[in-house]
């Protein structure tokens, strides 16, 4: 039995959607047995998949079971053996960049649309 690479990546929960898996393959971020793979590549048991996550870390998995239908999250981890190196620590600057943006305090800065309309009504009176 063989399964398309993009389907298996989605079933194994490496990517949230199949279109994300397809895009990663088209952008050459996925390698199978050391070679860049296209989304329609047929996988077989024992294939080694390397996924470049873009932050200097690549995930390495070996296919154990082939499935082309969605499985439960607990069962998805049984589809592969994870051989990835540990994820590198983020630098202090990168850690700050991942924080959510600071919300402005009410009454500070530029007025919102609602506040602007209230000001215009007040001025007209």
For 39-112, where are the alpha helices, taking DSSP H only?
73-76, 92-97
Q: Is the pLDDT of residue 101 over 80?
A: no
Q: pLDDT at position 16, please?
A: 94
Other CB atoms within a 10 A radius of the CB of residue 29 amount to: 17
Instruction: Report the alpha-carbon distance of residue 25 to residue 18 in Å, rounded.
Output: 11
Give the pLDDT of residue 42. Answer: 93
Query: Hey, CA dihedral for 33, 34, 35, 36, is it positive or negative?
Result: positive
Fold of 3-88: 3.10.290
Secondary structure of residue 48 in the 3-state scheme: strand
Mean pLDDT of 95-118: 78
- Please state the rounded mean pLDDT for residues 98-118: 78
Percent of the chain with pLDDT over 70: 95
């Amino acid at each position: 039995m063989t399964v398309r690479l993009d389907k298996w990546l989605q079933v194994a929960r490496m990517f949230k959607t199949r279109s994300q898996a397809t895009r990663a393959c088209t952008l050459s971020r996925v390698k199978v047995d050391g070679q860049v793979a296209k989304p329609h590549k047929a996988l077989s048991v024992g294939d080694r998949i390397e996924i470049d996550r873009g932050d200097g870390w690549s995930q390495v998995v070996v296919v154990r079971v082939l499935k082309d239908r969605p499985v439960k999250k607990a069962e998805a981890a049984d589809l592969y053996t994870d051989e990835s190196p540990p994820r590198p620590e983020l630098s202090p600057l990168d850690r700050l960049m991942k924080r959510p943006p600071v919300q402005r305090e009410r009454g500070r800065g530029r007025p919102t649309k609602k506040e602007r309309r209230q000001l215009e009504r007040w001025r007209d009176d």
